[in-house]
Amino acid sequence: MRKQLLIVAITATVFASVSYAQTYPGYRTGNYTGVNGAFFNPANIADNRFKWDINLAAINGFAGADQGGIKFSDITHNFDANDLKSNILKGQSHVNSLDYADLLGPSFMLSLSPNTSIALTTRSRVFANVKDVNGDLVNAIIDPAGAGITTPVALDGARTITHTTGWTEIGGSVGQVFSKKGSHHFFKGGITLKYIAGTADAYMTTNGISGSLQSLGNTTVVEGPAAGYISINATNANFTDYKFNDLFKFNGQGFGGDIGFVYEYRPNMDYSMYTNDRWANKYKLKIGVSLLDVGMIKFNQSGNLAANFNTNIPEGNQFDLNALNGKSVGEFIPVFNASPYFVAGTPQSNSYTVNLPTTVQANIDYLFNPNWAVNIAGQFNTNNSINFNLYEFNSYSITPRWENPLISVE
């Protein structure tokens, strides 16, 4: 029996199209993903191509919005987080965005028998949702002097949410083959249970914010009369200065899990050719379904920063957005406290629960010959985009693939 150590090289990909929001697109469709297949469907580790497999590290990123995006030219030169935000959060009103970074850490899989496999996995993620924000307002906060506002921009009072969560998870997976040996109809399933440690969280919601944005000299201001409601909560760790070691500073905890099933149609009844070769693809048609990221994180640290504010900027007065430039969401609180235009309301609880971005994943894989295949996949969000629910975008993809045990091209 051949054994192989799989070391996944660190690869970073950034996509501007919200229609392709699946993690590790292309790579996830292959039959030689080893232990990493558990992240996409825990049933993948059963009847695995590898007897055992180790992953050291793999990273994937996504940034997309419904009004802005990143061009290829943007990723061929250096740009910082503010450049990224400015490119993504474009548009005068109701900008929606999804951004994440996903690090697959040290993980191990072992096939206990031809029918049963187990895996231990680690993973760290940062996930951000933006809903219905005013793009001009965001860019005016990022760069008050260069926001490009030449005429007054009215704020329409929409309810907005800006929410970013970081967490690290440790998972244990079991995959099992259920069908009899030699059957045309092959069926397997798998489940992953995860301990989830929340590393950081920050959200800001607004409701009814009125007034207008105006350029004033080398800055941008919110011109009165303006009113509205602002709610903020943030952990000690913040995303303005988020570092690698922040992945291990636990500010919350919770539990979660994944479950999945795979069906394969195997027309060839003679499997003698596979007795000493576990690398071969035996199916003609494969259908997989999984439910991923079921669970939640409870943030309940005494050091959390929580505040509510009622906005009241009288006619003829302005609030200078320079005061918020370069600050994290949690650092907005002392700025608002020091301003006469924001009246602190009843403090909200610093204990709250964040729901993970639960999705249903489905894919159909058709094998033309032992090396060539095409995969049709769909990702379906199950969370409402309200309160503290993290949510994915629905996405669909068609991926042609050429693969063998050493290399895959998608």
More confident of the two residues 334 and 18: 334
2 has a pLDDT exceeding 70: no
68 has a pLDDT exceeding 70: no
**pLDDT of the residue at 79:** 39
Element (H, E) at 139: helix 135-142
Where is average pLDDT lowest: 88-92, 113-117, 227-231, 303-307?
88-92
Helix, strand, or coil here: 137?
A: helix
Which percentage of the chain shows pLDDT scores above 90? Answer: 50
* Selection from 339, 404, 327 nearest residue 141 by Cα: 327
Mean pLDDT, the chain, as a whole number? 83
For residues 361 and 382, what is the distance between their CA atoms, to the nearest angstrom?
11
Asked if residue 321 lies in contact with residue 141, where contact means CB atoms within 8 angstroms, the answer is: yes
Asked if residue 390 lies in contact with residue 126, where contact means CB atoms within 8 angstroms, the answer is: no
**Which residue type does 307 have?**
A
Strand runs labelled E in 94-159: 95-104, 107-111, 116-133, 153-154
**pLDDT of the residue at 183:** 85
**pLDDT of the residue at 76:** 42
Q: What is the pLDDT of residues 277-327, one digit of tens each?
A: 577 888 999 999 999 999 999 987 667 788 999 999 999 999 999 999 888
**pLDDT of the residue at 134:** 87
For residues 7 and 104, what is the distance between their CA atoms, to the nearest angstrom?
12
54 has a pLDDT exceeding 60: yes
**pLDDT of the residue at 115:** 92
Angstrom distances, CA of residue 55 to CA of 1, 35, 36, 244, 307: 20, 7, 7, 19, 42
Q: φ, ψ for residue 88 (rounded to 5)?
A: -80, -45
**pLDDT of the residue at 273:** 53
Tokens of 204: 């800001």
**pLDDT of the residue at 379:** 94
Confidence of residue 209 (pLDDT cuts 50, 70, 90): very high
Q: What is the pLDDT of residues 349-399, one digit of tens each?
A: 778 899 999 999 999 999 998 889 999 999 999 998 777 889 998 989 999
Q: What is the pLDDT of residues 212-269, one digit of tens each?
A: 999 888 889 999 999 999 999 888 776 767 777 777 778 889 999 999 999 999 987 5
74 has a pLDDT exceeding 60: no
* Selection from 239, 250, 242 nearest residue 198 by Cα: 250
Confidence of residue 80 (pLDDT cuts 50, 70, 90): very low
Q: φ, ψ for residue 26 (rounded to 5)?
A: 85, -65
Where is average pLDDT lowest: 149-153, 265-269, 272-276?
272-276
Confidence of residue 61 (pLDDT cuts 50, 70, 90): confident
**pLDDT of the residue at 248:** 76
Which percentage of the chain shows pLDDT scores above 70? Answer: 84
**CB neighbour class for 127 (10 Å; exposed up to 12, middle 13-18, buried from 19):** buried
Predicted TM-score (pTM) of this structure: 0.86
